């Protein structure tokens, strides 16, 4: 026995490569064990949440919700079946807790960032496009920028945007009237509303009128493409890996659209920096606010943190791109969902109409803020 073990050790000592291999394999084994244990632990904790039937063990619930009317009805059905929350598997490893009830959502939204950190998997798909804007940034950068952006949402600035929203909606209504007069009885509102919200945003963020609701705009098309590509990538588990994704035609398309969008934002920032006065910034601002031409880019260019430091061009681009994305997608989805439900439930539609008419009684349409 003794001589045997001597023999074995002697061989190992004689070959450092074997030793290295041994260390490597044990390290890998330890990692796999630690990972399995933590995964098992997570699964145990998730057991307290109800779980809708999966497609199978590998895909989990991936692909069960399509971007269609059926998808929305399926989600609505989830909410009415499970009420508060349910557990949702995106592939074999990644669980998502879907929260439906406002009283359950509230504590999550109020929780400090240290307790409820941002998602890192799905948000990473947006990173090359949106950079370190408010949506994706965290920690000190997030809180400092959050404070710096507060003036952009002052009531006096937002008030002037109502006219822009109104103009964009008027364009959409005119289009709908035209389509109806040409005999259309059904239309996919989401596309129209997305264009309308993007039109409004481009005017509010950049003071740029691309007339995108009437004629194709390269920039707006790129934003719509990026949003669609991110949603598609989410559904394709192998595409979650960057190195695979950027080898595919979709990944290439994503890169190209990112370049186009960044180029647009960069050009506006450069142009605006040139026209910005070195002194008398306050008067310049006041004049712009008075003429109602102050936009998001102006506010970003002029804002300072508590040490008097301004945002870099890269930061400004990230915030502007973030609001172009965050502002159009959520609003368009919300508005479409509201209109869909009002169309389905005429009695509520009537109540809303009455309420609006009550509020607007004795007021000129021009005065609405
Ligand atoms: C970027 O924008 C400039 C001017 O706005 C344009 O001349 C140039 O072709 C654009 N480049 C790309 C890659 O889109
Ligand atoms: C909104 O548009 C309508 C229709 O053109 C117009 O009558 C109204 O005055 C506008 N309201 C505002 C606040 O711009």
Ligand 2 atom with minimal separation from the 369 CA:
13
Ligand 1 atom with minimal separation from the 259 CA:
13
Structure tokens at 133: 């804007």
Structure tokens at 25: 């394999």
pLDDT recorded at residue 362: 85
CA 123 vs. chain centroid, Å, equals: 8
CA 131 vs. chain centroid, Å, equals: 12
Closest by Cα among 323, 310, 320, 327 to 144: 310
**With 0-12 CB in 10 A as exposed, 13-18 as middle and 19+ as buried, what is 168?**
buried
Q: Which residues, 6 or more positions from 76, have their beta carbon under 8 angstroms from its beta carbon?
A: none
| Ligand 1 surroundings by CB, under 6 angstroms | 259-260, 263, 267
Residue recorded with tokens 């989990």 = 60
Closest by Cα among 300, 335, 293, 292 to 321: 300
| Domains parsed from the chain with CATH numbers | 53-110 (no CATH), 139-367 (1.10.630.10)
Residue recorded with tokens 């239309």 = 187
Distance 206 CA to ligand 2 centre (A): 22
Q: Which residues, 6 or more positions from 127, have their beta carbon under 8 angstroms from its beta carbon?
A: 136
pLDDT recorded at residue 259: 97
Q: Is 53 in the pocket of ligand 2 (CB under 6 A)?
A: no
Give mean pLDDT in consecutive 10-residue pieces for the chain, a chain of 369 residues. Answer: 44 75 95 95 94 93 87 91 93 92 92 84 93 91 90 84 93 95 88 95 92 93 95 92 96 97 95 80 75 84 86 94 93 92 95 93 80
Q: Give the whole-angstrom CA distance, residue 102 versus residue 315.
A: 33
pLDDT recorded at residue 11: 55
What count of other Cβ atoms lies within 10 Å of the Cβ of residue 15?
12
pLDDT recorded at residue 13: 56
């Amino acid at each position: 026995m003794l001589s045997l073990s001597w023999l074995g050790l002697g061989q190992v000592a004689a070959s450092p490569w074997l030793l290295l291999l041994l260390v490597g394999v044990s390290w890998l084994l330890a990692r796999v064990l630690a990972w399995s244990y933590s995964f098992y632990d997570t699964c145990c904790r998730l057991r307290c949440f109800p779980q809708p039937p999966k497609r199978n063990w590998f895909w989990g619930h991936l692909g069960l919700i399509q971007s269609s009317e059926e998808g929305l009805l399926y989600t609505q059905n989830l909410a009415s079946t499970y009420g508060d929350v349910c557990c949702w598997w995106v592939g074999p490893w990644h669980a998502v807790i879907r929260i439906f009830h406002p009283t359950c959502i509230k504590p999550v939204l109020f929780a400090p960032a240290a307790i409820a950190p941002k998602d890192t998997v799905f948000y990473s798909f947006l990173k090359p496009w949106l950079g370190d804007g408010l949506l994706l940034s965290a920690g000190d950068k997030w809180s400092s920028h959050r404070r710096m952006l507060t003036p952009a949402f002052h009531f006096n600035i937002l008030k002037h945007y109502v006219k822009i929203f109104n103009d964009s909606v008027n364009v959409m209504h005119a289009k709908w009237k035209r389509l109806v007069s040409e005999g259309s009885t059904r239309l996919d509102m989401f596309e129209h509303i997305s264009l309308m919200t993007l039109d409004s945003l481009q005017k509010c963020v950049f003071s740029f009128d691309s007339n995108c609701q009437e004629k194709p705009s390269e920039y707006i098309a790129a934003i719509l493409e990026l949003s669609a590509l991110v949603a598609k990538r989410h559904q394709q588990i192998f595409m979650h890996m960057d190195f695979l994704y950027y080898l595919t035609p979709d990944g290439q398309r994503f890169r190209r659209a990112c370049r186009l969008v960044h180029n647009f934002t960069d050009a506006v920032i450069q142009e605006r920096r040139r026209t910005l006065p070195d002194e008398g910034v306050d008067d310049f601002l006041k004049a712009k606010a008075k003429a109602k031409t102050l936009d998001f880019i102006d506010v970003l260019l002029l804002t300072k943190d508590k040490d008097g430091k301004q945002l870099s061009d890269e930061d400004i681009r990230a915030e502007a791109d973030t609001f172009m994305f965050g502002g159009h997608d959520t609003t368009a989805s919300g508005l479409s969902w509201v209109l869909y439900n009002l169309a389905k439930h005429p009695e509520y539609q009537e109540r809303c109409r009455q309420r609006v008419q009550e509020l607007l009684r004795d007021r000129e349409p021009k005065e609405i803020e």
